[in-house]
Amino acid sequence: MKITIVGTGYVGLVTGACLAEIGHDVFCLDVDPRKIEILNGGGVPIHEPGLLELIARNRAAGRITFSTDVEASVEHGDVQFIAVGTPPDEDGSADLQYVLEAARSIGRYMNGFKVIVDKSTVPVGTAQRVQGVVAEELAKRGLAGSEAHRLSVVSNPEFLKEGAAVDDFMRPDRIIIGLDEDENGNAAREKMKRLYAPFNRNHERTIYMDVRSAEFTKYAANAMLATRISFMNEMANLADRVGADIESVRRGIGSDPRIGYHFLYAGCGYGGSCFPKDVQALIRTAAESGQNLRVLEAVEEVNHGQKEVLVKKIVGACGEDLGGKRFAVWGLAFKPNTDDMREAPSRRLIADLLARGATVVAWDPVAAEEARRVFALDLAHVPEQHARLTFASSQDDALTGADALVIVTEWTAFKAPDFAHLKKVLKAPRIFDGRNLYEPDAMAELGIDYHSIGRPHVTPANSAA
């Protein structure tokens, strides 16, 4: 099948590359010439494991094309995926300007029946708005109601984890498709069934529903996962106060099959492109419908506060004034295996440390370049603070002469460091761990002053530490 993908971000690139991998002819469009130049030059503008190789293989096979030519993109695909960004607006609602502009372009150039697929995360009712925008463009061309310009707008939300997006797409646990039950919807259903047929050969993974329910499903899924994270973080904060170990608690409750272990890890808050904006957007949707989502309002509030927990622990151990103190920070991206800095807990942590007078030397194996760009913007109004932030050339380089190590992202490389070397190069053997990577008792035996989330602080063997 001929497929067009509008947008070459995380969702668009992964969707396009994976659909090409199963044999479809894919045309990827982006209005940003820089991205297309990178892609046509053999690179990828984002970090996602396996994506570069997947694109290279399918480009060599002639199954994937990258272009800024809007008219050609509309002509190419019988199925038009809209996979552009939906950033949060000032009021927390999803900004649909890019989605609607993509729809206008399709209406401006389409000739013949098109299935328009909302792959972007969009609020309930967006498919109807997309249909209306396309209809307006067709009317301008004098083609309203024309048999040759029929269309169906489908909701097909993505469920991809950054850092594992390719595997998630190629081995989906479900494929949600929302469409209308009419003549055009039935034609769209057949096309979508053919499109995803390779994923349903062993057993049917596709769940069909109405469009609004499909749009809602994506938000409800992310809201549930965010809720589990905030719940566990709030339990961790209480565990700190009552002397319980949140890791033991996690194993105890996770063993219940009704609960499970997923998304029950305490830490320094969630970030990224999905959970923060989707929780906000769902809260906004509810407000527009005259309802308060009190649970999600609490989820958002807990997450906001959780990003300050590590700084509070640092202040508790080192004092309010951190002037003259140097901190090594391991991990900048909001999660491992990505360079995504959107809503990353490291941004709040580092800003707070700098505001208290500290010097910060940061390291991330992938996100350093993106972090430089982000912090240049975040700290543009406080150049004196920005001057006290530097980026190390390696994780060991970050440690040298630091008063403490702060771990924000659980990269695999951080899980089993050389603790003897770490103690030697740090000014003081002290770790503030925002991801609970190590065992408190083991750290104490090594003479390391170890502070984690929701776990008892054990006095190190060398109490002078």
- CATH code of 61's domain: 3.40.50.720
Both tokens assigned to 399: 């440690």
Q: Are residues 195 and 299 in the same domain?
A: no
CA angle at 178 for the pair 176 and 179, rounded to the nearest 5°? 150
* Averaged pLDDT, 105-129: 95
Given 254, 287, 304, which residue is the final one in a domain? Answer: 304
Residue 115: its H or E element = strand 114-118
Q: Which residues are annotated binding-site positions?
A: 30, 35, 86, 121, 159-162, 218, 263-267, 271, 277, 335, 342
The answer on pLDDT for 200 being more than 70 is yes
Let me know if residue 456 belongs to a domain: no
How confident is residue 203, by pLDDT bands cut at 50, 70 and 90? confident
Domain-located, residue 457: no
Domain residue limits at 261 = 219-304
Residue 400 lies in a domain: yes
Q: Is residue 57 part of a domain?
A: yes
Statement to judge: residues 402 and 359 lie in one domain: yes
* Span 351-366, average pLDDT: 97
**Alpha-carbon span 293 to 297, nearest angstrom:** 6
* Separation of alpha carbons 87 and 89, rounded Å: 6
- Would you place residue 87 in the very low, low, confident or very high pLDDT band (cuts 50, 70, 90)? confident
Q: Is residue 186 part of a domain?
A: yes
- Answer yes or no: do 24 and 129 share one domain: yes
Q: Distance (Å, rounded) from C-alpha 8 to C-alpha 85?
A: 10
Summarize the confidence of residues 369-384 as an average pLDDT: 96
Mean pLDDT of 398-413: 97
| Nearest-angstrom CA–CA distance, 186 and 176 | 16
Final residue in a domain of this structure, among 304, 334, 357 = 304
- pLDDT surpasses 80 at 148: no
> Which pTM does this prediction carry?
0.92
Could you say which of 177, 209, 241 is where a domain stops?
209
Calculate mean pLDDT across residues 231-235: 98
Question: Mean pLDDT across the chain, nearest whole number?
Answer: 95
CATH number at residue 233: 1.10.1040.10
Q: 415 - beta bridge partners? A: none
Predicted confidence at residue 463, as pLDDT, reads 60
Q: Give the three-class secondary structure for 61.
A: coil
Q: Which string of b and e fits 327-362 if b means at least 16 CB within 10 Å? A: bbbbbbbbbbbbbbbbbbbbbbbbbbbbebebbbbb
Distance CA 342, CA 364 (A): 15
Q: What is the dihedral of CA 448, 390, 409, 327, to 10 degrees?
A: 20
- pLDDT band, very low/low/confident/very high, at 465 (cuts 50, 70, 90): very low
Q: Is residue 214 part of a domain?
A: no
458, part of any domain: no
Are residues 51 and 173 both part of a single domain? yes
311 shares a domain with 299: no
Contacts of residue 396, defined as CB under 8 A and 6 or more positions apart, other chains included, come to 421, 425
Check if the beta carbon of residue 438 is closer than 8 Å to that of residue 330.
no
Task: Give me the number of domains the chain comprises.
Answer: 3
Would you please indicate which residues are annotated as catalytic (active-site) residues? 274
- Per-residue pLDDT of 431-464, as tens digits, reads 999 999 999 999 999 999 999 999 999 889 766 4
* Residue numbers belonging to the annotated binding site for NAD(+): 30, 35, 86, 121, 162, 277, 342
Instruction: Give yes or no for residue 244 having a pLDDT over 60.
Output: yes
**Helix 10-21 vs helix 51-60: angle between axes, to the nearest 10 degrees?**
50
Phi, psi (5° rounding) for residue 4? Answer: -115, 135
Co-location of 154 and 17 in the same domain = yes
Mean pLDDT, residues 29-39 taken together: 96
| Nearest C-alpha neighbor of 36 from the set 81, 6, 11, 57 | 6
Residue 394 makes CB contacts below 8 A (sequence gap 6+) with: 363
Q: Looking at the structure, do residues 25 and 149 belong to the same domain, yes or no?
A: yes
Q: What is the pLDDT of residues 307-350, one digit of tens each?
A: 999 999 999 999 999 999 999 999 999 999 999 999 999 999 99
Mean pLDDT in residue range 232-240: 97
Same domain, 92 and 24: yes
Q: Are residues 119 and 259 in the same domain?
A: no
Q: Do residues 166 and 227 share a domain?
A: no
429 and 388 assigned to the same domain: yes
Mean pLDDT of 163-192: 94
Given a cut of 80, whether residue 89 has pLDDT beyond it is no
Amino acid present at 242? V
Judgement on whether residues 133 and 16 belong to the same structural domain of the protein: yes
pLDDT at 26 over 90: yes
pLDDT digits (tens, 9 = 90+) for 291-318: 999 999 999 999 999 999 999 999 999 9
In a domain, 249, yes or no: yes
Query: Which residues, 6+ apart, have CB-to-CB distance to 25 below 8 Å?
Result: 1, 2, 3, 63, 76
Cα 160 from chain centre: 9
